[in-house]
Structure 1
């Protein structure tokens, strides 16, 4: 049986320090049927020449210039020029485990169309990993182990951008890299969710994710908190919001205020609640904050939770359980 070709899409810009390790990890894969589409997004260092030297040695590596500007345009350039039946992304500063491509191919071939192969990730850094990244890694891997990634999709991006693989037809059905919406990986994750691509459970670390001060997700404005909130609200209103049910926003911190402001701008009616005595009955943006016990009086509301404290989140879950409410139907954690 002919093994499917995997197209590995790699946008890069000024990552000459990391590209050799990245490409070597691909060359060493135990699955040999792949092609790399390496797209230079106007690098000012030696990245282009470095990849060119690899391409001269291995015809599976194809080097192109970005036909636009930025990572989304680079992904489009790669996708427009690739030939694989299966598609995956790779970050130019990261490292694959030796069995990454083969493992994901086997998962997809076992499950078939309508599925998304995902793998566990491990952060690494010369200075050690911060507590925040360690918690994100643990949370993400626990979801991936069960294939339950979408159950907490409104919290954070539940599909690691460089560690998924899909059939080309499924990716096309999801709109591939067409939208100009950042963060592009989170937007694509929501479109996987929208089109019901089922995540295949995976208990193996397949990708080593490098952290350093000037990585794009740390420095680009496109990965600021307000962009994430805008995507969450956009897809909530499109996919899970039921206009015939009362809508409630729980929390009046920065995220709660941002969500409230966005809803007011869209003329969407909502109740605003909290459990902070100092804020109850306070007027913000013309809306009066109410005590959360008002939920006992509302008929079948949907709730956006913007409370970030983990202990308070557990208390909120217990409260909703007492009301016989269920996550991803009656309440949605946005942080």
Structure 2
């Protein structure tokens, strides 16, 4: 196999406590034909000095400065200054398994264009990983091991932002980092899905994901739940909902209400169902809530499920199975 160049894109800002471990993990990769394009996004600590130290010792490290502000513009600048046949992203506060790049390159080589190499991830933290991240890790890795990530894309981000690799030509087809949409990793996952890239199954842990209190995904407003819901609904309406479908929203909790309100604002007609006797029959945003059994009477339904409780989700799946309606075809879980 030839050894194509891999471009590893890294935006960084105030990660001095972790950056050396990140860059060292790249330096120690078993696959050696790579370039790092790291873009300083306004660091006020020692991050830039650390990056420059690696660049002075190894010319595969290229260090640039973001002339704008924010992770998207930093990623965009990194990509525009990259030259690799394969593109991957890295977070400056994490580290790679030594064989990560080799495994991903081999996967893309064997599967060809139209493929997306991914890997299992492992969260770690000096204070211990909370239950939410632990559940997300197990769920995400379960999908990755089978390559079925896109089956549940409306639940959460199914492609780990710092652990994917793709052909440059496919990345361009997907719009690269051109959109100014946050959260940028989830939007990119949807664009991979829209382009019908095929996830390559992987059973190996390739990325170690650090969690700490001031991590960007915890502190930035761009990663708040309302942004995730906006992206989910936008792509759902673009990719899944088509006439003569009859749109149904199942659930009248916070997420259900947020989606219903957005549909009303967009003048998109929908049915609204739930199993809460206190809400059935109520008029909310001009729509009367019905019992979910009304779904049996709706022709060609396509449903958004906003119920998060896992036991209730099992019952909901059974209900749709009895109606001979398929998951990710006739109904989609949004949580």
TM-score between both structures, scaled by the size of structure 2:
0.99
- Could you say which residue in structure 1 is the equivalent of 2:150? 150
CA drift at 1:164: 0.2
CA contact (8 A) 2:244 2:300 kept: no
**Match of residue 228 from structure 1:** 228
Question: How many angstroms apart in 1 are the aligned matches of 2:179 and 2:29?
Answer: 31
Q: Secondary structure at the match of 1:296?
A: helix
- The count of corresponding residues between Structure 1 and Structure 2 is 335
Q: CA deviation at 1:67?
A: 2.8
SS of residue matched to 2:231: helix
Find the counterpart in structure 1 of residue 285 from structure 2: 285
Q: What's the counterpart of residue 137 of structure 1?
A: 137
Q: Which runs of 5+ in 2 are unaligned?
A: none
2:259 aligned with 1:249, yes or no?
Answer: no
* Cα deviation 1:142-183 (Å, max 9, x = unaligned): 000000000000000000000000000000000000001100
Greater mean alpha carbon deviation, residues 74-83 or residues 46-55: 46-55
Contact 2:89 2:161 in 1 (8 A): yes
- Residues 176-217 of structure 1: per-residue CA shift (max 9 Å, x gap): 000011000000000000001100000000000000000000
- Say which is worse superposed, 240-249 or 72-81, in terms of deviation: 240-249
Secondary structure of 1:289's partner? Answer: strand
Q: CA deviation at 1:51?
A: 0.6
Deviation (angstroms), 1:286? 1.4
2:334 aligned residue: 334
Q: Which residue of 2 aligns with 1:21?
A: 21
Structure 1 residue 285: Cα displacement: 1.1
2-side partners of 1:202 and 1:307: how far apart?
Answer: 30
Q: Following superposition of structure 1 onto structure 2, how do residues 119-138 of structure 1 map, counting pairs within 5 Å?
A: 119-138=119-138
3-state DSSP of counterpart to 1:268: coil
Q: Report the 3-state secondary structure (helix = DSSP H, G, I; strand = E; otherwise coil) of the residue aligned with 2:208.
A: strand
CA RMSD, Structure 1 to Structure 2 (Å): 0.6
The residue correspondences of 1:10-159 to structure 2 (distance < 5 A) are 10-159=10-159
Secondary structure (helix, strand or coil) at the match of 1:78 reads helix
Q: Counterparts of 1:85 and 1:117 in 2: how far apart (Å)?
A: 14
Q: Is the Cα contact below 8 Å between 2:22 and 2:93 reproduced in 1?
A: yes
Q: Deviations over 1:279-322 (max 9, x none)?
A: 11111111111110100111120000000111111110010001
Secondary structure of 1:83's match?
coil
Partner of 2:192: 192
1:117-137 deviation line (CA, Å, top 9, x unaligned):
000000000011111111100
CA distance in 1 between counterparts of 2:23 and 2:198 reads: 29
- 2:325 maps to 325
Deviation at 1:243, TM superposition (A): 2.3
**Any stretches of 5+ residues in structure 1 without a counterpart?**
none
Q: Secondary structure at the match of 1:307?
A: coil
* Aligned equivalent of 2:202: 202
SS of residue in 1 equivalent to 2:293: helix
Offset of residue 257 of structure 1: 0.5
Give deviations 1:245-272, integer Å, cap 9, x for gaps.
Answer: 1100000111001100110111000001
Q: TM-score, normalised by structure 1?
A: 0.99
Q: Quick one: distance in 2 between partners of 1:213 and 1:40?
A: 21
Point out 4+ residue stretches in structure 1 off by more than 4 angstroms: none
Q: C-alpha separation between the residues in 1 aligned to 2:37 and 2:175?
A: 19
